C-alpha cells in the first residue's frame, strides 16, 4: 500500500513537471526589455504550476501571499511569441478550468522577440521602388528604394525626403527579418530595423498583388495593433524593380575549374570570383559583392578593366576596377570610387581610390635572399632566410628575443627598382609585404596591412626596417672553419684527411 502511494506520487510529480515545461527557453525582448524564459518560469510573471496546451497557470510569491496568473501563448514563429496574461489572482484555489473562463478576448496581447535571433530570409523580394505614407502625410513625389545588402538576409531602405512631409528627412534603414507567419489569412513578418541611432523591433503586414503591393509597419515593438494594413504607422506602396544581372565575366584564372579563395593583404578579407560575380567576405559574412557590367579592352593579357555594380555593406553603386595578374597566385587590384549613379560609364581611365593585393590562398614560393643577415645592433642574425627550408624565414624584431618569429614565403616578384617578398607569420597567419632594392640587399622594409606594390608601400610607414651590416650563407661556420684549418695546415696530409672525415661526419 505504502509502495503504491510513493509510486503514485512519483508519477504525479513527473507528469506535473513535464506537463509544465515551457518550450521557448531563452532570452526574449518585450518593448526592448529583457525577459528570460526557463523551462518552468517566464520572466517575473511566475513559475508554471499547471498547463494545458497553450494555457498556463503561473504562480509567484508576493507580500500579499502567492499570486496566481493565467497565461495563454500564441507561438507564431520560433523567434516570435505572442501572449496574453491576467492580473494577479490571490486565490489558492485557482486552476486551469477557471483560467480558460478568465482569458477574455479583450485582454491585451503582448509580443516577444527572441534576442539575438538568427535572421531568416525576408518574405519580400528585393529590389523594389516605393512611396510611403505616415500619419504626417504621403510622400509620393519621389521614389524611395529598397535593396539587398552584401549580407543577403539584410535589406536597406532608402527613404526619400518629400516636400509634402516637411519635417521628414531622407533616411537609410537596415532591416533583418527574424520570422514570418500568417494569421487570419494575413501575411506578417517581424524584423530588426536599425539606423545609426540603434536597433528596434517592428512587425510588418504584407499585402502583395503581382509585382506590386503594400507593406505596413507597426508603430512600436508590438504586433497587437497591426490587425490590418490600415492600422500601420507607416505604409509602403511598392513596385518590384529588376535586379542587376552580370553582363561580363571576371578573369577565368581567378576561379578556374574549382572555387579559389583569394586573401586580401590590405584587409584580410577573402575573395571569391565566379563568372560575373565577385564576393569578398570576412568571418563567413559577405562584406562586398561586385557584379561585372562591362569589360574594357586593354593592351595586355595580364591587365583587366571592368565596370561593376557594387554592394559594399548596405551601400550600392558603380565602381571601376582594374586587375593586374602579377603572377598566377598574385593579383594587384585598383579600385575607383563608388559612384551612386551610372553617370561615368567609361572605365578605361579612372582615378584609383584604393589598391589591394590578393594572394591565392594556400600558395607558397621559395624565398629569395637566402642566408643569414646581421645587424650591427644584435649579436646573432636578425634575419635567416631559407635555412631550415627553402620556404622559411626567421625574423628577430628585438635582439633580446633572439629566437625570432617564423614566417613562410608566399610570393616574390620584382617591380620597378624594388624586389618584393610576401611572407606569412606562422603564428598570427598575417601576411607581410617586404621590399628591398635588388642590387644592394642592405635595407629590408617590412609592411603590414598594405597592398604589396610600389605605389602603396611608398606612401606607407614601414612596420619594421631591418638594416643589415653583413650577410652570410646559412651554414657558414663549418665551411669557413674547414677552409681555415686546411690552409693553415698544408703540410700534414694526415691532418687534412681527418678534417675531411670530420667534415663528412658532420654532414651525416
* 167, three cell numbers: 519635417
Nearest approach, Cβ of 441 to ligand NAG (angstroms)? 13
Place of cell 690552409: 487
Nearest approach, Cβ of 439 to ligand NAG (angstroms)? 16
Among 39, 239, 397, 414, binds ligand NAG (CB under 6 A): 239
Closer to ligand NAG by Cβ: residue 374 or 503: 374
Q: Residue 395 in contact with residue 367, Cβ under 8 Å? A: no
In what helix (H) or strand (E) does residue 432 lie, and over which residues does it extend?
strand 431-437
Q: Residue 294 in contact with residue 307, Cβ under 8 Å? A: yes
Distance, in Å, from the CA atom of 263 to the CA atom of 265, rounded to the nearest integer, reads: 6
Alpha carbon 252 to its chain's center: 26
- Using CB under 6 A as the binding rule, whether residue 151 contacts ligand NAG is answered as yes
- Using CB under 6 A as the binding rule, whether residue 467 contacts ligand NAG is answered as yes
Residues 356 to 385 in contact with ligand NAG, rule: CB under 6 A: 376
Nearest approach, Cβ of 164 to ligand NAG (angstroms)? 17
- Using CB under 6 A as the binding rule, whether residue 443 contacts ligand NAG is answered as yes
DSSP for 165-216, written as a single string: STTPPPEEEEEEEEEEEEETTEEEEEEEEEETTEEEEEEEEEEEETTEEEEE
- Using CB under 6 A as the binding rule, whether residue 241 contacts ligand NAG is answered as yes
* 311, three cell numbers: 554592394
Nearest approach, Cβ of 123 to ligand NAG (angstroms)? 17
Nearest approach, Cβ of 57 to ligand NAG (angstroms)? 22
- Using CB under 6 A as the binding rule, whether residue 38 contacts ligand NAG is answered as no
Give the interface size with ligand NAG as a residue count (CB under 6 A).
16
The mark string for 296-335 relative to ligand NAG (x by CB under 6 A, - otherwise) is ----------------------------------------
Distance, in Å, from the CA atom of 304 to the CA atom of 251, rounded to the nearest integer, reads: 8
* 377, three cell numbers: 645592433
Closer to ligand NAG by Cβ: residue 279 or 352: 279
Among 160, 286, 357, 435, binds ligand NAG (CB under 6 A): 286
Distance, in Å, from the CA atom of 485 to the CA atom of 479, rounded to the nearest integer, reads: 10
Nearest approach, Cβ of 90 to ligand NAG (angstroms)? 25
Closer to ligand NAG by Cβ: residue 172 or 443: 443
Give me the half-sphere count of Cα atoms (radius 13 Å) on the Cβ side of residue 363.
18
- Using CB under 6 A as the binding rule, whether residue 143 contacts ligand NAG is answered as yes
Place of cell 675531411: 500
Nearest approach, Cβ of 115 to ligand NAG (angstroms)? 9
**The dihedral of CA 23, 25, 31, 33: what is its sign?**
positive
Would strands 171-183 and 154-159 be described as parallel, antiparallel, or unpaired? antiparallel
Among 78, 102, 134, 152, binds ligand NAG (CB under 6 A): 152
Residues 101 to 140 in contact with ligand NAG, rule: CB under 6 A: 129
Nearest approach, Cβ of 122 to ligand NAG (angstroms)? 13
What is the three-class DSSP state of 480? helix
Among 71, 289, 369, 395, binds ligand NAG (CB under 6 A): 289
- Using CB under 6 A as the binding rule, whether residue 34 contacts ligand NAG is answered as yes
Closer to ligand NAG by Cβ: residue 292 or 411: 292
- Using CB under 6 A as the binding rule, whether residue 428 contacts ligand NAG is answered as no
Nearest approach, Cβ of 239 to ligand NAG (angstroms)? 5
Three-state secondary structure string covering 42-65: ECCCEEEEEEECCEEEEEEEECCE
Among 102, 229, 279, 464, binds ligand NAG (CB under 6 A): 279
Nearest approach, Cβ of 377 to ligand NAG (angstroms)? 8
Closer to ligand NAG by Cβ: residue 134 or 281: 281
Q: Is 500 left (phi over 0), alpha (psi -120 to 50) or beta?
A: alpha
Closer to ligand NAG by Cβ: residue 28 or 420: 28
Among 9, 15, 16, 36, binds ligand NAG (CB under 6 A): 36
Nearest approach, Cβ of 285 to ligand NAG (angstroms)? 6
490-498 long-range contacts, Cβ below 8 Å, gap at least 24? none
Cβ neighbours of residue 80 closer than 8 Å, sequence gap 6 or more = 111, 112, 113, 114, 178, 179, 181, 190, 223
Distances (CA, A) of 349 to 291, 298, 307, 508: 19, 11, 11, 61
Nearest approach, Cβ of 33 to ligand NAG (angstroms)? 8
Site residues (vs ligand NAG, CB under 6 A): 27, 34, 36, 129, 143, 151-152, 239, 241, 277, 279, 286, 289, 376, 443, 467
Amino acid at each position: 500500500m505504502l509502495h503504491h502511494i510513493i509510486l503514485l506520487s512519483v508519477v504525479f510529480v513527473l507528469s506535473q513537471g513535464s506537463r509544465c515545461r515551457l518550450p521557448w527557453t531563452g532570452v526574449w525582448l518585450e518593448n526592448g526589455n529583457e525577459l528570460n524564459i526557463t523551462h518552468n518560469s517566464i520572466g517575473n510573471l511566475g513559475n508554471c504550476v499547471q498547463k494545458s496546451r497553450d494555457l498556463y497557470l503561473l504562480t509567484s510569491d508576493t507580500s500579499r501571499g502567492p499570486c496566481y496568473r493565467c497565461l495563454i501563448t500564441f507561438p507564431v514563429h520560433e523567434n516570435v511569441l505572442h501572449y496574453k496574461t491576467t492580473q494577479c489572482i490571490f486565490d489558492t484555489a485557482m486552476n486551469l478550468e477557471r483560467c480558460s473562463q478568465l482569458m477574455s478576448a479583450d485582454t491585451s496581447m503582448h509580443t516577444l522577440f527572441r534576442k539575438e535571433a538568427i535572421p531568416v530570409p525576408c518574405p519580400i523580394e528585393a529590389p523594389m521602388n516605393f512611396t510611403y505614407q505616415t500619419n504626417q502625410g504621403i510622400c509620393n513625389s519621389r521614389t524611395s528604394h529598397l535593396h539587398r545588402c552584401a549580407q543577403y538576409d539584410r535589406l536597406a531602405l532608402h527613404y526619400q525626403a518629400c516636400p509634402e512631409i516637411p519635417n521628414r528627412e531622407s533616411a537609410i534603414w537596415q532591416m533583418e527579418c527574424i520570422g514570418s507567419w500568417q494569421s487570419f489569412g494575413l501575411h506578417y513578418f517581424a524584423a530588426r530595423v536599425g539606423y545609426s541611432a540603434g536597433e528596434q523591433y517592428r512587425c510588418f503586414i504584407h499585402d502583395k498583388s503581382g509585382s506590386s503591393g503594400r507593406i505596413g509597419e507597426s508603430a512600436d515593438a508590438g504586433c497587437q495593433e497591426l490587425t490590418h494594413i490600415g492600422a500601420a504607422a507607416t505604409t509602403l506602396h511598392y513596385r518590384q524593380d529588376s535586379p542587376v544581372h552580370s553582363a561580363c565575366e571576371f578573369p577565368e584564372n581567378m576561379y578556374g575549374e574549382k572555387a579559389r579563395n583569394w586573401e586580401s593583404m590590405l584587409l584580410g578579407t577573402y575573395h571569391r570570383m565566379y563568372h560575373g560575380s565577385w564576393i569578398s567576405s570576412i568571418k563567413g559574412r559577405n562584406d562586398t559583392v561586385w557584379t561585372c557590367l562591362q569589360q574594357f579592352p586593354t593592351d595586355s593579357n595580364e591587365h583587366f578593366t571592368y565596370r561593376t555594380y557594387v554592394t559594399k555593406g548596405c551601400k550600392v553603386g558603380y565602381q571601376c576596377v582594374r586587375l593586374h595578374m602579377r603572377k598566377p597566385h598574385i593579383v594587384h587590384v585598383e579600385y575607383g570610387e563608388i559612384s551612386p549613379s551610372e553617370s561615368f560609364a567609361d572605365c578605361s581611365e579612372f582615378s584609383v581610390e584604393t589598391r589591394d593585393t590578393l594572394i591565392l590562398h594556400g600558395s607558397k614560393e621559395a624565398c629569395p635572399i637566402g642566408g643569414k643577415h646581421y645587424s650591427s645592433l644584435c649579436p646573432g642574425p636578425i634575419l635567416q632566410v631559407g635555412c631550415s627550408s627553402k620556404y622559411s624565414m626567421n625574423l628577430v624584431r628585438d635582439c633580446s628575443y633572439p629566437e625570432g618569429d617564423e614566417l613562410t614565403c608566399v610570393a616574390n616578384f620584382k617591380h620597378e627598382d624594388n624586389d618584393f617578398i610576401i611572407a606569412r607569420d606562422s603564428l598570427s597567419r598575417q601576411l607581410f609585404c617586404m621590399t628591398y632594392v635588388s642590387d644592394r640587399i642592405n635595407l629590408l622594409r617590412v609592411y603590414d596591412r598594405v597592398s604589396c606594390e610600389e605605389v602603396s608601400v611608398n606612401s606607407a610607414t614601414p612596420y619594421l626596417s631591418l638594416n643589415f651590416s653583413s650577410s652570410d650563407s646559412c651554414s657558414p661556420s663549418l665551411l669557413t672553419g674547414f677552409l681555415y684549418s686546411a690552409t693553415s695546415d698544408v703540410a700534414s696530409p694526415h691532418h687534412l684527411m681527418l678534417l675531411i672525415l670530420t667534415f663528412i661526419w658532420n654532414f651525416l
